[in-house]
Structures are given as structure tokens and as C-alpha cells.
Amino acid sequence: MAFGFGSGWHLARIEWTNGSGWPGFEGTHPKLGMAVSALKTREFDRLRGLSHDETPDGMHELRFGAAWCTDLLPALGEAADADSSDGAIVVWAGAVQAIRSWRYRTYQAGGDVPEARAELAMVTAGRAADRLARYMHDTPGDTEAAAWFLQALTVEGASDEDLHWARDYLRACPDPHLAGRRTYLSARSAKWYGSYDEALAFAREEVAAPGAPACYNALIACAHIEQWVLHHMRNDAGAEAALLKSRAVRDDLIAADEAFRAGAGAQGDPADDFARNWLAFAMLVIGENARARDHMEALGARVRPFPWSFLAEMDKVIAFSRKKLGLPPLRATA
């Protein structure tokens, strides 16, 4: 598989090699090392304390990175089952299971997923979804629980009833959560269990909701990019080109970018960083390089796995993109 950006993207492509260990997926959250250590040493009180001063999107970034670095931990699941009201531990257990199931199904050494591996992914995701659903039924308002429930559903297989219940639960939470909404949108895209129109309609509803933060404008980019990626995965060059050349799509993406810029908070806010990754990618795809450069400069090293890793290895995509935008390479970190 290969990828490129802008109107001349067929001329500038990076070949898929796989098997690199997916460098960068763990992210750059400042508490990442503490979270991985607490998981591996079973210091669950320490794990609970990591949520202090974190927004829901900040916790999602931390859990994603730590879960990516961690294998399944029976002791964590046992702790979650021992007290199903302990939200922090229940959600940590669900996140670790959801990411592990996702890796079982998706990120292997190449080729189709073996049947036994796919079955293991389904079982692991199902356990995560069941554990999180029990907690959510008893505990309203936990956006992170909803986000990881949706992640598990994406692997396990989602019914309309489950998806709508999780969406409504997420919307009823008092705190905004961009990553959770993006996970629902992905599940509602044609790439998974819905359609382009459903994903885009959800994005517009969230942007128009009273009190919606500026970062939700990135959901517009998510909906269009999910469809573009689907065309790319199917090697449908005609559909890819049509999407990129559509004046309506370009106008929609640029309007979303403008709306985000008008209301974005301070650099380093986790939700805004999440949004900038998607908007930077979208601007590159349609050849709006100046806009993309603004976002990449604001992000610095705070790049996230998605959407960059949809099309090739994340580190190569970022290096290619920064070079295309005239930005220096990111310095390697220990």
C-alpha cells in the first residue's frame, strides 16, 4: 500500500513495509512512563491517581499509549471485576483489552488475519465491551468508559442498538470528549458499520450542538478522511480523485478548519491536539499546505497515530509530510 498528498499525490508515494513495531503509536503523553510502570507493577492506586488534572481527551491519549505498550494483565481484570464501581480501574482494564484486541485483529506481520487470531480479537474485545457496559449501566457520565466501549465494539462487531446506546450515553456526559466521538463516527462510517452520509451527519450534529467546543469541527475532517481512506484501501483511484476534487468537500474541510482556528484553545490542549492531527492531514490531502503547516508547527512532536497511520507507517508519514511542508525532521526521543 502507498500514499501521497495533494493534487499531485500519485507522484509522491511511500511504500508500505509493515513490521516496524509501529514506532510512535505510544504517543508523547508526559505521564506515559508512569502509567506503563504502574500497569506492569500492579500499582493500581498509583494508576488511579494519574487522572488528576487530566481532561477526558488527555486520559484517552494516556490510556491509548500505555495500553499500546502493555500486554493483557489478568491482575488488572481481576481488580476491575472485584469492584465494578471502581471506574478508573474498570476503564483501564477495558482500554488495555480493547487495544490488545485491536492489535490481534489489525496489526500483524502482513497478509490476512489468521482465523485463530481473529477469534482471539473478538473474544478479547467482547470481554472489554461487556465489562465496560456493566459499569456504564450503573454509572452515568463517564466519557472515557463510553469511548473505550465504542473502541471494543469496533472490533467485536456493533449492532445499531449498541452504537446508539453508546452515542446517547456519550452525549449525556457533562464533559466534552473528541476522541470518543471520533470513535463513534468511525464505527458509523462506510469503513465499518455505516455509511459516508451517516458519519458526516453525526459530525454536523456534534458541531451544531449547543456549547460544542471548537475542536469538534475536526469531526468534519474525520468523516471525509474516513471515506477517502476507504477508497484508498479498495485501490479505487477514481473515487479517491473525485473526493479530492470535489468543491463541496474542499469547502467543507476549509470551513471546518477556519471554525477550529477561531475557537482553539492554548497549544498543548489534548483535544485540540487531536483535532489538529486530523485537520493537518485533511489539509495535506487537499493540497492546502500552508494550513497544514500551521497545524504541524503547533503540534511539534505531539503527533497521534491517526489519521497518519491509516496509509503507511506513522513515522514515515510524518517525516514525509514535514519534508513536504518545509519543516525540519522531528528529533528522536529516548
Share of the chain above pLDDT 90, in %: 62
254 and 288 Cβ atoms separated by less than 8 Å:
yes
pTM of the predicted structure, to 2 decimals: 0.90
* DSSP string computed for 113-138: PPHHHHHHHHHHHHHHHHHHHHHHHH
CA atoms 245, 222, 113, 64: torsion sign:
positive
Q: What is the CA radius of gyration of the chain?
A: 19
Among 320, 334, 332, 268, residue whose Cα is nearest residue 292: 320
Question: Which one-letter DSSP state was computed for residue 216?
Answer: G
Encode pLDDT of 157-170 as tens digits. 778 999 999 999 99
Question: How many Å apart are CA 287 and CA 9, to the nearest integer?
Answer: 9
Query: What is the maximum alpha-carbon separation in the chain?
Result: 56
Encode pLDDT of 130-166 as tens digits. 999 999 999 999 999 999 999 999 887 778 999 999 9
Residue 15 pairs in a beta bridge with 2
Encode pLDDT of 248-292 as tens digits. 999 999 999 999 999 987 677 899 999 999 999 999 989 999 999
